[in-house]
Structure 1
Amino acid sequence: MAALGEGDAGTMLQLGETLLKNFIYERLACNNATVTRSQLGGTELCDPKLREVGQCLKKYGDELDQDVKLQSLINQLKPTKEVFVAVAREIFADGIFNWGRVVTLFYFACELVKQALRIPDLIQTIISWTVDFMVGPVINWIKEQGGWDAICSQIPVPSWKTAGVFLAGVLTTAIFMRNM
């Protein structure tokens, strides 16, 4: 396989979708959730570079798992498109892109999938929302960084600052949804 930074935005998006599905599968498998790769529309990562990127994504997701308050807030949200879009927009609201925020988007999608396990059709829908959201600025930023494999060399040691950005988005969404 070519470097994960080669190709156009469509290629970057396709790789992103593959990594997202793997991220969700690996996280759910660690939580003993009964989901198959085929339910997610994914396959096992065979390419060593993709596996390495998958491991980098997993490490960051593991950090977000440690925030109990964050977990509590996520559990209050329903897996709807309105919630997803509001939180995703909030993650990037200031126009700043970084790997922590990209992983945070993946993490939030995974948490919504976890809530939707009883509604199998919704699982693919949440993945589609995430992929659709990445079209444009997110994928362009990833391409500018050199592609998906750049995450392994550029992501800083996980920090609570990024989790705080995510938390702010979730809080904003939770408050918004309660007021509706």
Structure 2
Amino acid sequence: MFLMWREYVDIVKIFTGIREFGWNLTEMATQKEIAMQGRTICKDYIYHKLRKMGLLNKKVTLQATAKSSDISFQIQYLGSEMEKNHPDVYKNISRQLAVTMNSEKIVRETFMQVVENIFEDGRITWGRIVSLFPLAGSFSVDCVQQSHGEFVNTVVDAVATVVENKLVGWIQQQGGWIELMLSHRARDKKHLYILSAFGATIGFATTLVVIATWV
């Protein structure tokens, strides 16, 4: 089956944008490269979310990349769709989790608890991976609104740890982050996820479980 011209042009733009961003397309990305790319995507997502909400201040030392990749833009789009379609899930995260973002330890441990629940069954999908970024954005918003913008970098580090320790092997097997772009285009921009949320008790806190399934 031949690609429609528009689809062909879109794919050319994807590869051109990624080459300009400096991502390696000549051979399979290494796990180290995939982990670094995940960190960059997270920084871009959080930075643009905070800027959009007018929450950038001197305590937020996070800097976006000079030129975001098409993959980064795509994840921002998908993440914003999740947030728009499920506002109750992604707003007032700390209130839902019954915590206050007043230390790096609390921010990191709470984020990691939620992530453990997302991947509790051991299943990895692009939808679940994408859901990490709006979750990180929501954590960052709460940190800034609670006068702890310096903890935004802690959120980025937590996401990077998850990618490196839990996801990098799976992402590499799929062909790298580029596969997220290609699979999205191949499905003609249909909804790529089903999102549900419910509460669960973990130790001392009631936490939010976000499960995203790629369909």
Query: Could you say which residue in structure 1 is the equivalent of 2:10?
Result: none
Query: Could you say which residue in structure 2 is the equivalent of 1:154?
Result: 183
Residue 19 in structure 1 maps to residue 41 in structure 2: yes
Residue 98 in structure 1 maps to residue 125 in structure 2: yes
1:69-118 CA distances to partner (integer Å, 9 max, x unpaired)?
21356251344223211111111111111111111111111111111112
Superposition pairs of residues 1-180 of structure 1, within 5 angstroms: 1=22, 2-3=24-25, 6-35=28-57, 39-45=61-67, 51-66=69-84, 67-72=86-91, 74-76=93-95, 77=97, 78=99, 79=101, 80-117=107-144, 118-155=147-184, 157-158=190-191, 161=194, 163-164=195-196, 167-168=197-198, 171-172=199-200, 177-178=205-206
1:29-77 CA distances to partner (integer Å, 9 max, x unpaired)?
22222258x822442225xxxx210121011111122213213562513
Q: Percent identity?
A: 21
| Cα separation, 1, equivalents of 2:36 and 2:80 | 24
Task: Give structure 1 regions of 4+ aligned residues with deviation exceeding 4 angstroms.
Answer: 173-176
Contact 1:113 1:126 in 2 (8 A): yes
| Cα separation, 2, equivalents of 1:63 and 1:175 | 31
| Cα separation, 2, equivalents of 1:174 and 1:69 | 20
Instruction: Note the aligned Cα RMSD (angstroms).
Output: 2.7
TM-score by length of 1: 0.80
| Cα separation, 2, equivalents of 1:35 and 1:96 | 38
Contact 1:116 1:123 in 2 (8 A): yes
1:5–1:123 CA distance, 2 compared to 1 (3 A): farther
For structure 1, which segment, 78-87 or 66-75, has the greater mean C-alpha deviation from structure 2 after superposition? 66-75
| Cα separation, 2, equivalents of 1:4 and 1:27 | 32
User: Secondary structure at the residue paired with 2:43?
Assistant: helix
TM-score by length of 2: 0.68
Q: Tell me how far 1:158 sits from its aligned partner.
A: 3.4
Q: 1:128 is aligned with what amino acid? A: D
1:35–1:9 CA distance, 2 compared to 1 (3 A): farther
For structure 1, which segment, 77-86 or 10-19, has the greater mean C-alpha deviation from structure 2 after superposition? 77-86
Contact 2:93 2:138 in 1 (8 A): yes
Consecutive unaligned residues in structure 1, runs of 5 or more: none
User: Secondary structure at the residue paired with 1:89?
Assistant: helix
Contact 1:5 1:147 in 2 (8 A): no
Contact 1:83 1:173 in 2 (8 A): no
Q: Which structure would you say has the larger Rg? A: 2
Q: Which has the higher strand share?
A: 2
For structure 1, which segment, 73-82 or 19-28, has the greater mean C-alpha deviation from structure 2 after superposition? 73-82
